[in-house]
Amino acid sequence: MIKVAAEPYEFLFDGATAALVIIDMQRDFVYPGGFGAALGNDTSLLLKAVPPTERVLRAVRGAGLFVVHTREGHRPDLADLPRAKKLRGHLTVGIGDPGPMGRILVRGEHGHDIVDELTPLPGEPVVDKPGKGAFYATDLDAILRARGIAQLIVCGVTTEVCVHTTVREANDRGYDCLVLADCVASYFAEFQDVGLKMIKAQGGIFGWVADSSRLIDALAAAPQATGAVRT
């Protein structure tokens, strides 16, 4: 078992049955000049999570753990876009409209895809999700169960929206989730803070929280994490 110093207590996992899940690290949310920025958000708060996530991705790939990426978005014909989601916020430029990086949150568009720093490798499933939770209307659960995955290490954006929704969904499905505090991010500093507190409260009601360095240290101390080390 690999031991990570975490809160509210040590997180133990087996590299063969744990996966790294990177939530919605998409250009439109993270990069300056995208949809998130067009909504008036400070994207630098999200961009800050990319370098630690890159380091985690490198360490996890090196240890041979399974990696899954998710993207929030919709079909080009928007047939899977609920009316309520399209109308919410009374946005002048919203989902499906032309945006600075292509049609906003539409699959196949430049802004919808994952940031360059975290490009998925062949063999790392990319799960396209129409909602906030990565389990809703996707095959994520089937993908994880087919590999015998029981524990998730979670990075991504935004902390209080898609990360939280996914962790709550995972928790109800019986997965243990370790959320890496510096690899998740919110446009709102107070939501980042309270979002992390909510996960680890009440004995870890939704899961565990640790800084990425704790995970990287733990993997370094157990180099043969899965026996499937990639070069």
- 28 near ligand C5J, judged by CB under 6 A: no
Q: Is 132 a catalytic residue?
A: no
The one catalytic residue among 128, 129, 155, 200: 129
Pick out residues in 66-95 that bind ligand C5J (CB under 6 A).
72
Task: Quote the least distance from Cβ 52 to ligand C5J, whole Å.
Answer: 18
Q: Is 155 a catalytic residue?
A: no
Q: Which of 63, 155, 157, 215 binds ligand C5J (CB under 6 A)?
A: 157
Q: Read out DSSP for the chain?
A: -EEE--BSS-EEE-GGGEEEEEE--BHHHHSTTSHHHHTT--THHHHTTHHHHHHHHHHHHHHT-EEEEEEE-B-TT-TTS-HHHHHTT--SS-TTSEEBTEETTBTTSTTTSBPGGGPPPTTS-EEEESSSSSSTTSSHHHHHHHTT--EEEEEEE-IIIIIHHHHHHHHHTT-EEEEEEEEEE-SSHHHHHHHHHHHHHHHHSS-EEE-HHHHHHHHHT-S-SSS----
- 22 near ligand C5J, judged by CB under 6 A: no
- Stretch binding ligand C5J (CB under 6 A), from 87-95, 157-165, 175-183, 189-197: 157-165
Q: Which of 7, 24, 28, 109 binds ligand C5J (CB under 6 A)?
A: 24
- Stretch binding ligand C5J (CB under 6 A), from 52-60, 81-89, 108-116, 158-166: 158-166
- 169 near ligand C5J, judged by CB under 6 A: no
Task: Quote the least distance from Cβ 20 to ligand C5J, whole Å.
Answer: 17
| Contact positions vs ligand C5J (CB under 6 A) | 24, 29, 72, 157-158, 161-162
Residues recognised as catalytic = 24, 129, 162
